[in-house]
Structure 1
Amino acid sequence: MSKDKMRHVCGISGGKDSAALAIYLKEKGAIPDVEYFFSDTGCELPETYDFIDRLEAYLGKKITRIGGEAPFKHHLFMMGNMLPSPKQRWCTVKMKIEPFEKFVGTDNVTSYIAIRADEHREGYISTKSNITPAFPFIHDDIVRKDVFQILEDTVGIPEYYKWRSRSGCYFCFFQRHEEWIGLFDNHPDLFQKAVEMEKIDPDTGEGFSWIQGMSLKQLLERREEIIELASKRRKGEDNRSWQEILLEEGDSDDSGCLICSL
């Protein structure tokens, strides 16, 4: 591609904000040549893949799948079976950032990022000089309720939000305890795969687990306690739909891997 031509790209994570941004860019029609892409780790939830397909159909434009050259287990092996964690986010680097920068190459690119006007975070902005970030939601004062309205009017809200507060891999270490329980209830096969990746010495309790200081098997033993605590956090049972709860509860209270969850 000519160095004088600017590419316009919009990353899709499978989450609400990036999906709403893709729809917003389509509806505005100001950037007819925008390229949509999805960094497929191969470890996404089935609901995520279904949502990406639904979004692609609505956009009427291909969402390019990038990454996937090496499976997660390859990277895990290369990392000495050290599971990724909040302090060691190697999965983000290997399976999100590096594929994105390979996709962009040396072309001059404007990267549209789905940070809303009511947020106070930066997200991932490449340090490469040929990549220029753009924030349409901030520029146009689009906030959380607007994002939900965009989705409700078009493709709907991703189904995994019924039991999970973010997009990302099924084993995302930023999940709340009750979300791990949700994974067990909704996708026991994926939960079991996550269990099998943990390496815990039964005598010392040391090793690599998804949750600091607790294995997933131990988490299941505390199931009732975890569910009760989650219910208390939500201030008891009520008649709100899961969409209303999601809207009113707000985003997860951790920073997470923003390039994954936008």
Structure 2
Amino acid sequence: MTRKQVHVAMFSGGASSAFVAYQMVQRYGKENCILFFTNTTWEDEDNYRFMDEVEAYIGIKITEWADGRNPEEVFHDTRFLGNSRMAKCSEELKVRQTIIFLDDYLIGKKNLQPILYFGIGPHEAHRAERLKDFYEHNCIEPIETRFPMIETFREDKDIKEIIEKEWGIRLPRMYYFKDEKGVQIFNHANCGGRCVRGGFHHYKGLYLVWPERYKKQEEMEERFKIKFDKNVSILKRDGKPYSLKKYREEILEHLGNEDVQKVLQSLEALDNTAEIPCVCTFS
């Protein structure tokens, strides 16, 4: 017997996934849709405000699924400090929890056929292919994935304007922070800026916007190194670990120095996070 389909918007708390969720509900009806959010517990408080307002505007409650651990606890449990190349936090807190929700709950318990919707745009088509392949081969049965942003070719700017001007909802504050050159600091609004895949530009921004959060990441890194007696770090310089403490002391506390600025520019040029997809930004 064919199972009833249920349409699941993978909601990260960002603009694109909010827009996709709205369009999905308009097409298939609230009774056939789920707004799904996996919580790492590190989100910025304004993200929760945005999600509450989107939830009210769309008209369906967010289905929240959580492991219960935060990213640091995952790093300790796996004995691996997340970095720009590999983030066990997204594997455990996002991917694993999503599969449990799909396999055990929707398919196993509710006997439903989920179809997943992602807020990925045309410029990220390669990521869409990876997601499609993943959900075809890593659940108890192949699960269909859809990417309305690629199909409609809506631009990110267009979506943000719609949410702010037509919906009357202010975007999460992390979208608005820019550096001295007017470049957006955070390339996504997840984990309150503490994303281990951030890179040099991201962590410079975190230091300037929320120095206390930067300090938390610095302390987290030091705790891990001491506990496991490993010389590891979130960032790397010249192929070697480069601690957030050193980055702050050698670079970030001297941003007014021209020579330091040149060094920073060379470090930021090494940032390759755009080429390394993080599952947190998919939803």
Where on the TM-score scale, by shorter chain, does this alignment land: which range?
0.7 to 0.9
- The Cα of 1:230 is off from its aligned counterpart by 11
SS of alignment partner, residue 195 of structure 2: coil
How far is 1:30 from its partner? Answer: 3.3
- Note the C-alpha offset of 1:130: 4.2
Using the TM superposition, give the Cα deviation of residue 3 of structure 1 relative to its aligned residue in structure 2, in angstroms.
5.9
Question: Which residue of structure 1 lines up, in the alignment, with residue 76 of structure 2?
Answer: 77
Q: Is residue 159 from structure 1 mapped to residue 173 from structure 2 by the alignment?
A: yes
What residue number does 1:9 align with? 8
Deviation at 1:16, TM superposition (A): 2.3
Give the distance between the partners of 1:24 and 1:206, measured in 2 at CA. Answer: 47
Q: Secondary structure at the match of 1:38?
A: strand
> Normalising by the residue count of structure 1, what TM-score does the alignment of the two structures yield?
0.78
Instruction: Return the match for 1:142 from 136, 154, 163.
Output: 154
Rounded to whole Å, the distance in 2 between the matches of 1:85 and 1:190 is 17
The superposition leaves residues 159-197 of structure 1 with CA deviations (integer Å, 9 ceiling, x where unpaired) of 102231212223212224233233234333322221111
The answer to whether the 8 Å contact 2:84/2:234 transfers is no
- Tell me the CA shift for residue 69 of structure 1: 2.7
Q: 1:220 aligns with which of 248, 253, 262?
A: 248
Give CA-to-partner distance per residue, 1:109-129, whole Å, 9 cap, x none: 100111223433224341222
Does the 8 A contact of 2:190 with 2:280 survive in 1?
no
Partners of 1:115 and 1:230 lie apart in 2 by 33
Contact 1:118 1:143 (C-alpha < 8 Å) held by counterparts: no
Length, aligned pairs only:
239
- Partner-residue secondary structure (3-state), 2:116: strand
Q: Distance in 2 between matches of 1:230 and 1:3?
A: 60
Report the Cα distance in structure 1 between the residues aligned to 2:262 and 2:176, rounded to whole angstroms. Answer: 17
Hey, what does 2:216 align to over in structure 1?
193
Which of 93, 97, 106 is matched with 2:91 structurally? Answer: 93
Return the offset for 1:215: 1.3
> Which TM-score applies when normalising by structure 2?
0.72
1:175 equivalent in alignment to 2:198: yes
- Displacement after TM superposition at 1:134 (Å): 1.2
Residues 123-170 of structure 1 show CA distances to partners (whole Å, capped at 9, x for unaligned) of 434122242111222223323333223223322332102231212223
Q: Secondary structure at the match of 2:114?
A: strand
Are 1:174 and 1:256, in contact at CA under 8 Å, matched by a contact in 2? no
Gap regions ≥5 residues in structure 1: 234-251
Task: Provide the identity percentage.
Answer: 23
CA RMSD for the aligned pairs?
A: 3.1
Unaligned runs of 5+ in 2: 178-185, 267-272
Q: Cα 1:197–1:217, aligned 2, differ >3 Å: closer, same or farther?
A: same
User: Is the 8 Å Cα contact of residues 85 and 276 (structure 2) preserved in structure 1?
Assistant: no
SS at structure 1 position matched to 2:6: strand
TM-aligned CA distance change 1:92 to 1:54, over 3 Å? same
Q: In the alignment, which of 13, 27, 30 is matched to residue 28 of structure 2?
A: 30
Distance in structure 2 (CA, Å) of the matches to 1:118 and 1:198: 33
- Identify if the C-alpha distance between structure 1 residues 29 and 231 changes in structure 2 by more than 3 Å, giving closer, same or farther: farther
